[in-house]
Amino acid sequence: MATYVLVHGAFHGGWCWRPLVDILAKRGHRVFAPTLTGLAERSHLLDERVNLSTHIADVANLIRFEDLSGVVLVGHSYAGFVISGVAEEVGDRIGSIVFLDAFVPGNGKAMVDYWPPELKKEWDEAVAEAGGLVRKPLPASFFKLPPADTAWVDAKCTPHPYATMNEKLTLTGARERIAKKAYIIAENFPSKNFRMFYERAKADPGWRTYGLPTGHEVMIESAESLAGILEEVA
């Protein structure tokens, strides 16, 4: 039996892991899928203080207060920043760290540092239109999700606090000291950043790499295959 902590990306909540949680739980694993502050069922907690550090604390404190160890820590998309920060806080409790079509940030980097100028401008304008605190959700179709699932995802996604994208992350190498590291790329979602992180991991003997023929929402589109990979890297 393994212990999994699954961390969602921008606009989402713990709900997006439900298909995967059900599979892993049926196989006897212990699974946690927390919702980050200010999103989904915790959207009522959103204010100007919610930033990347808040989200790192959400997950690190879950691991501490549940007395978890040997954790398989999985981060999707934006949550690559979150789990990298969590490794700095509770790295001794993490047995495997998995980046699921996710950012693998460098020291001193913020999410916006990986965006081209035109994307940064588009986000700034969208956030200003929404009142300066959040970006309204992107449509599920943007993430190449099959039409059968888009209505469900669009109904669940909530605005994301923009401060999380602008806070720079301080890293000291705790992520690299975790014994097992893996990168899983969504092969049907075009992203220069995710391809770059995947290729870097592939070239590093300390990492295992995988590809799945899905859009960005891997845990929804291909939960069964993803569960198999996560069991392998545990």
d(CA 222, CA 214): 7
Nearest to 104 by CA among 5, 233, 202, 212: 202
Euclidean distance between the first and final Cα of the chain, in Å? 9
Question: 3-233, which class in CATH?
Answer: alpha beta
| Token pair for 2 | 């393994």
Contact between 198 and 183 (Cβ < 8 Å): yes
Local structure of residue 101 (DSSP, 8 states) = S
Local structure of residue 188 (DSSP, 8 states) = T
The pLDDT score that the predictor gives to residue 120 is 94
When pLDDT is cut at 50, 70 and 90, the band that residue 172 belongs to is: very high
Q: What is the dihedral of CA 170, 174, 178, 181, to 10 degrees?
A: 30
Name the helix (H) or strand (E) containing 211. strand 207-212
Sequence letter at residue 101: D
User: Is the Cα torsion angle 194, 196, 197, 199 positive or negative in sign?
Assistant: positive
Told to judge if 77 belongs to the known catalytic residues of this protein, a careful annotator would answer: yes
The pLDDT score that the predictor gives to residue 114 is 97
The pLDDT score that the predictor gives to residue 111 is 97
When pLDDT is cut at 50, 70 and 90, the band that residue 87 belongs to is: very high
Domain ranges within the chain, ordered by starting residue: 3-233
The tens digit of pLDDT for each residue in 19-76 reads: 999 999 999 999 999 999 999 999 999 999 999 999 999 999 999 999 999 999 999 9
The pLDDT score that the predictor gives to residue 127 is 95
From the candidates 53, 69, 77, 222, give the one annotated as an active-site residue: 77
The pLDDT score that the predictor gives to residue 229 is 98
